[in-house]
A = this chain, B = another copy of it.
């Protein structure tokens, strides 16, 4: 009974009708260049709004249009339809060319996350230069994740929301070919047989990427 009290003052005014909620979300998302999280949306909308529901209808409304409503992690944003990219060369930002090492490292982090530096090196068979990791952190495509609970407690890397946003992914689960790779056992972390060169240490018993994608 008492819990209602706090909400009462606002709920004197009923939540706006569904169509109005849609308009509001449309306006907020349109105005922002970055994805807006669901919780932020709800903070900005009047009390009592159900942003999640309005988002569903809004998303459907923009299907097939020149601008689409996309989901990025827990956030939402309007983006131009990918097939119209050719009209936009004026807006194209010349991005720094990534080295092959950087691209591969990025892919390994994305597909194997959370992943330690030693594991990245094990997969690529060469040392990962600090510049490479630096560059990916600077681009805000990868960040530090939880420490691995193994000897040395190595730090791990995971991909960010900005990464998802940049590559138009709703979540890391939607990475291309992820299912097939996992089915083929290529995302397992197999223990290195003793006596094998290369892999330094600390890469046993990794909890593994799977926990992120499983459920």
What 0/1 pattern do residues 101 to 135 of A give for CB contact below 8 A with B?
A: 00000000000000001000000000000110110
A147 on the B face (CB < 8 A): yes
Query: Is the Cβ of A83 less than 8 Å from the Cβ of B4?
Result: yes
Contact of A31 with B176 in the complex, beta carbons under 8 Å: no
Q: Known: A66-B26, A184-B134. Is A1-B146 also a contact (CB below 8 A)?
A: no
28 CB-based A-B contacts, threshold 8 Å: A3-B82, A4-B83, A4-B85, A4-B86, A7-B83, A23-B84, A26-B65, A26-B67, A27-B66, A27-B67, A27-B80, A27-B84, A27-B88, A30-B30, A30-B80, A32-B90, A32-B91, A33-B91, A44-B87, A130-B183, A130-B185, A131-B185, A137-B184, A143-B168, A144-B174, A144-B176, A145-B174, A153-B212
Residue A15 lies at the interface, judged by CB distance under 8 Å to chain B: no
Interchain nearest-CB distance for A18 vs B (Å)? 13
Q: How far is the CB of A47 from chain B (nearest CB, A)?
A: 13
Residues of B within 8 A of A3 (CB): 82-83
Say which residue of B23, B81, B86, B91 sits within 8 Å of A23 (CB atoms): B81
In the complex with contacts A1-B85, A84-B24, A176-B144, A31-B133 CB distance below 8 A: no
Q: A27-B67, A144-B176 are in contact. Are A4 and B133 (CB under 8 A)?
A: no
Residue with the highest number of chain B CB atoms closer than 10 Å, among A22, A66, A134: A66
Interface residue A173 (Cβ < 8 Å from any Cβ of B):
yes
- List the B side residues contacting A75 at CB < 8 Å: none
Shortest distance from the beta carbon of A26 to any chain B beta carbon, whole Å: 3
- Say whether A78 faces chain B, with CB atoms less than 8 Å apart: yes
Question: Is A170 engaged at the interface, CB distance under 8 Å to the other chain?
Answer: yes
Report the minimal beta-carbon distance from A191 to chain B, rounded to whole angstroms.
21
Task: Enumerate A59-82 residues with CB–CB distance to B below 8 Å.
Answer: 64-67, 78, 80-82
Q: Residue on B with the closest CB to A130? A: B185
A28 in the interface (beta carbon within 8 A): yes
